[in-house]
Amino acid sequence: MDPGDSQHVLVTGGSGFIGSHLVNHLLDLGHRVDVVDDLSTGRLSNLEDALARHSDRLTFVQSDLSEWLSGPGCDSRFDCIYHLAAAVGVKLVVDDPISTIETNIMQTSAILNHVEKQGTPLFIASTSEVYGKGEAVPFHEESDITFGPTSRSRWSYACSKAIDEYLGLAHARRDGTPIVIARFFNTVGPRQVGAYGMVLPSFVDAAISGAPLQVYGTGEQSRCFCDVRDIVPMLPRMLAEPRCHGKVFNLGNDQPITINELAHLVRATLESDSEVLAVPYDEAYAPGFEDLAVRAPDLTRIREIFDFVPSYTLEQTIHDLAEIAGSRSDCS
């Protein structure tokens, strides 16, 4: 189905950071959108404006996805589904690995069993964490994957999302269901919060308030940040493109920056006097925490199909995050 045709769409996790931007984009395309979200990490405030402007085309259901699919949503039919419901954020993963594993695997299994009956096109959001401790940089979708030991809960999120991918690809092969999987690389932008260990909004909030920008470890670990407003428009295009079906794609920016450089960029962009404070991993997380030195995507596969070039600069994203943070402060 062409992404421009009017559709009835389900977005799981649609009140989250990326999910709410996707909901807005789908509404702008003229679609009717149902959102199912338990609000464990999402916020209904992310959808308030959309609910006010599109009350005739946007429906919100607060529920555990598995429970909804086995109950009220059992016989629901959609033109396509975007599955973004997941436990997210390094801090949440380390603090509550049981919920992380069960949420990610059980909900993905439930949505796959649902689409199996009807052949509904399904987009599954995955993560660069799936690459684990991989050393072949930049990461290619066919790169080997190495995780740390099971005694380190840090890797439970990566492993659970890898299982999601195995499940999705197995269903695509067995049933012929149009399934697309994208591994997001450090997506940032408006509505993202630092509560679950997200580094950029944490830095922006600190810079605005005059608090130290806490850099964990040496700060020389590098990441590639991409604005959510560059990511979201790609998702309907990928799901509508037959060449994407049954495949995994890296999705993000391929321009690396170290966390130290990011901290100083935030200070300079916002003209902040906040200091940059180094915090050992053992103080930030549990003892024995492991992190990757480099995380960068190989974007060859996505660019063989689409002309994908991110347009938002980090400076623009920082300014937009700061503007929203300032608005929150004014309302408090």
Residues with catalytic roles = 157
Which H, E and C letters describe the chain, residue by residue? CCCCCCCEEEEECCCCHHHHHHHHHHHHCCCEEEEEECCCCCCHHHHHHHHHHCCCCEEEEECCHHHHHHCCCCCCCCCEEEECCCCCCHHHHHHCHHHHHHHHHHHHHHHHHHHHHHCCCEEEEEEHHHHECCCCCCECCCCCCECCCCCCHHHHHHHHHHHHHHHHHHHHHHHCCCEEEEEECCEECCCCCCCCCCHHHHHHHHHHHCCCEEEECCCCCEECCEEHHHHCCHHHHHHHCHHHCCEEEEECCCCCEEHHHHHHHHHHHHCCCCCEEEECHHHHCCCCCCCCCECCECCHHHHCCCCCCCCCCHHHHHHHHHHHHHHHHHHC
Residue 203 · residue 266 · CB < 8 Å? yes
